[in-house]
Chain A
Amino acid sequence: MNRLARSSLWQLSLWRFREFAREPEAMFWVFAFPLLLALALGLAFKSRGVEVVQVAVVDGPGAAEITEVLDAGERIDALLLPGDSASHRLRTGRVALVVHPGDPLALQFDSTRSESEVARLVVENALQEAAGRRDVREIRDQPVTEPGSRYIDFLLPGLLGLNIMGTGMWSVAFGIVKSRQDKLLKRFLASPMRKSEYMLSYILARLAFLALEVAALVLFGYWVFDVPMRGSIFALGAIALTGAMAFSGLGLLVASRVKTIEGVSGLMNLVMVPMWIGSGVFFAYSKFPDFMQPFLRALPLTALNDALRAVMLDGAGFVATLGFLGVIALWGLASFGAAVKIFRWQ
């Protein structure tokens, strides 16, 4: 037998690695699920072209000319309709606004519907322009479509952080609690196995998959949505590594005393759900009130997401993310230390 096969740290890490690789469900949640989530949200919030408003013009004297004028522009889709049919369409939301020709011309719409407000502005503009209005100031549109500032650009680093947290915590906590439930921990405690090697093996096996996980999401974002990668790969790797180790430590702490899978699931949700919401995964945490900001910033996932965004979107270097890395590492060290202290082997 070679020396590596005799090393218990190697064998323990292999065990963790195999346990994970041989569980198709785990592979799905770690690799496929984040990609599907990114795809769904990316498509849902994809920037669309210029929005076209639907309006109806009530039939009568001059109505045909008005319809022609409105329909000429690319932003309006106008229909010539009898009066009752036009109001029916307005009530059922199929048109945003009804034009009643005459002098003065009347625009009928519901001011609480935002697309009706837009329709009013667009229609008024088109009619005034057709009537010979002269603009006194030149204004140019500059639509935001370049990569790096769309929703998907914001989202993808958040999902990456979420995945690093979820996989790190679940793989450690689930593995430990299952071993405790199966009395394997007790069996190994009766052997000369080193406890520190047992704990370390979870972190080592975790790192084996980390590179693949990060690469999958980053490349997916790059190919499918043009999400940029402006900073250094090295900085991204260092952040992912620090994050993965810290969340493994947190997973170890969560699992340090729990006896059942059900128990650990509840505890995991208690720890993770606040971060799902408050750490700026799906929307910026600046939406929360000011007094909450220091607390949100102190969360490990917030620091991880901020660091990932800084590198991917703003092109920050490794040194610029050291503050975030400090917060993450502190969480990792504190929870690992606490876990080793209170850990129950049986």
Chain B
Amino acid sequence: MSDLAISGQGLVKHYGAVVAVDGIDLAVRRGECFGMLGPNGAGKTTTIEMIQGLLRPDAGRIEVLGLTWEKNSRALRQRFGTALQETKLPEKLSVEEALLLVRSFYRRGTTVDEVLQAVELEEKRHAWVGKLSGGQRQRLAVACALVCEPDLLFLDEPTTGLDPQSRRQLWDIIMGFREDGGTILLTTHYMEEAERLCDRVAIVDHGHVIALGSPAELIATLGAEQVVEFALENGGSIPHEELQSLPGVQRVVSADGTTSLTVDRVHQSVPALMRLLESRRETLSELVTHHTTLEDVFLALTGRHLRDE
């Protein structure tokens, strides 16, 4: 048996003239949590839906748990759970009824009690799905994915639009599944989510994988651990060569009016930056320093921010 839970090679998908996925390769190992990180419209959802057999790729090969969609689609559907983006579960059913409905599609699985306990929705057992909060609905969606005791879990933007507390609750559920030996493929545009949950991350942009590795490896590619971000009043800017020559600065990127410097010695770089600004008679409107994140990796690779705003 192959040690890959998912293998996708050369996946391509067009929508009319638009190329949504332009030759993506993915190899997800058994027992790992693999994340596809990228902005909206990068092709993450199209990719995860092709792997789930919901979309037929225009080109490429997909193998899931050693099976293919062409030959083993029924057997395959028995073995994974999924929470798609923006799915509304039946609003007039109670939480318990909705879970029994989904459970009935599968040959094996857990009891409703077990899965309700896992997602901490026992108290809402008899509440109508339509009356749940956003976080509770999303936990129910994950419960519907877990009720078949899957080997593999697909989560498309599992925490989009949720408050921080609900998000952390979902992360615990996902990590629990991973600790029990399950494999997860998730998409997200939150770098924090990818860093917290994923063993490995593929950064996706414009239908391509532009970087692949563990979060730590990806951050290490920037060659420095700190980021200094600043913006000038009146939208002014400073030539990159001058910034590059400051002590400790490894890399300079500007986007959306802010400039970020990847630095390995903040204590030297920041005073030097201040002196440079003073000599050029520029005034700061913003100055932030933080540890390097996947967001900075994305910025360094694409010159754009990952966030929507």
Residue ranges of A at the interface with B (Cβ–Cβ < 8 Å): 1, 5-8, 10-12, 14-15, 18-19, 22-23, 182-184, 186-193, 346
CB atoms of A23 and B92 under 8 A apart: yes
A1-B111, A5-B100, A15-B93 known; A188-B88 Cβ under 8 A: no
| B contact set with A: CB distance below 8 Å | 52-54, 74, 77-78, 80, 82, 84-90, 92-93, 97, 100-107, 111, 144, 148, 154
In the bound complex, CA of A261 to CA of B101 (Å): 24
Cβ–Cβ contact A190 & B84, under 8 A? yes
How many Å lie between the Cα of A17 and that of B291 in the bound state?
55
Instruction: Output the nearest chain A residue to B128 by Cβ-Cβ distance.
Output: A22
> Complex: how many Å from CA A19 to CA B91?
8
Which B residues lie within 8 Å of A6 (CB)?
Answer: 103-104
For A10, list chain B residues within 8 Å (CB): 104
Give A113 Cβ to nearest chain B Cβ, in Å: 57
Known: A15-B97, A23-B92, A192-B77. A186 touches B87 (CB 8 A): yes
Chain B residue with minimal CB distance to A345?
A: B54
Query: Secondary structure of the B side of the interface?
Result: loop
Q: Are A8 and B104 in contact (CB under 8 A)?
A: yes
Given contacts A18-B97, A19-B92, contact A187 B82 (CB under 8 A): yes
Residue on A nearest B78 in the bound complex, by CB:
A192
Which B residues lie within 8 Å of A18 (CB)? 92-93, 97
In the docked arrangement, what's the CA distance between A183 and B148, Å?
20
Q: Is the Cβ of B101 less than 8 Å from the Cβ of A12? A: yes
Establish whether residues B90 and A192, one from each chain, have CB atoms under 8 Å apart when the complex forms.
no
Number of CB contacts from chain A to chain B under 8 A: 72
Instruction: For B88, list chain A residues within 8 Å (CB).
Output: 182-184
- Determine the distance from Cα of A1 to Cα of B52 in the docked complex, in whole angstroms: 29
Q: Is the CB of B90 within 8 A of A193?
A: no
Report the minimal beta-carbon distance from B249 to chain A, rounded to whole angstroms.
47
CB-based closest 10 A-B pairs:
A182-B88, A11-B104, A8-B104, A192-B77, A193-B105, A191-B105, A22-B92, A183-B87, A187-B87, A11-B101
Other-chain contact of A189, B54, B85, B111, B154 (Cβ < 8 Å):
B54
CA A237 to CA B57, docked complex, whole Å: 49
CB distance from B138 to the nearest CB of A (A): 13
CB of B48 to closest CB in A, whole Å: 10
Would you give the shortest CB distance from B115 to chain A, in whole angstroms?
13
Across the two chains, which residue of chain B brings its CB closest to A191?
B105
Contact of B101 among A15, A186, A346 (CB under 8 A): A15
Is A190's CB under 8 angstroms from B104's CB? no
**B194: min CB distance to chain A, Å:** 23
Q: CB within 8 A of B86: which of A1, A19, A23, A183?
A: A183
- Chain A residue at minimum C-beta to C-beta distance from B83: A187
Known: A8-B105, A22-B92, A183-B88. A190 touches B52 (CB 8 A): yes
Question: A1 CA to B108 CA in the complex, in Å?
Answer: 12
Can you sample 18 A-B contacts with CB below 8 Å? A6-B103, A8-B104, A15-B93, A19-B90, A182-B87, A183-B85, A183-B88, A184-B87, A186-B54, A186-B84, A187-B82, A187-B84, A187-B87, A187-B144, A189-B54, A190-B84, A192-B77, A192-B106
Nearest-CB residue, chain A, relative to B52: A190
Select one of B53, B90, B106 contacting A184, CB under 8 A: B90
Contact B54 A15 (CB under 8 A): no
Q: Are A11 and B100 within 8 A (Cβ)?
A: yes
User: Which of B80, B103, B105 has the most CB atoms of chain A within a 10 A radius of its CB?
Assistant: B105
Write out the residue numbers on chain B whose beta carbons fall within 8 Å of the beta carbon of A22: 92
Q: What is the CA–CA distance of A237 and B305 in the complex, to the nearest angstrom?
A: 66
Say how far A239's CB is from chain B's closest CB, in angstroms: 31
Contacts of A193 in B (CB 8 A): 105
Query: Shortest distance in angstroms between A14's beta carbon and chain B's nearest beta carbon?
Result: 8
A23 to B128, CA, bound (A): 13
Minimum Cβ distance to chain A for residue B275 (Å): 56
B92–A190 touching, CB < 8 Å: no
- On whether the beta carbons of A5 and B90 are closer than 8 Å, the reply is no
- Write out the residue numbers on chain A whose beta carbons fall within 8 Å of the beta carbon of B87: 182-184, 186-187
Chain A residues with Cβ under 8 A from B144's Cβ?
A: 187
> What is the distance, in angstroms, from B62's C-beta to the closest C-beta of chain A?
14
Contacts of A182 in B (CB 8 A): 87-88
Residues of A within 8 A of B92 (CB): 18-19, 22-23
Specify which chain A residues have a CB less than 8 angstroms from the CB of B74 in the assembled complex: 192
CB-defined contacts of A8 to chain B, threshold 8 Å: 101, 104-105
Bound together, the chains give a CA A5 to CA B111 distance in angstroms of 12
Across-interface contacts of A23 in B (CB, < 8 A): 92
Report the separation of the CA atoms of residues A42 and B109 in the bound assembly, to the nearest whole angstrom: 57
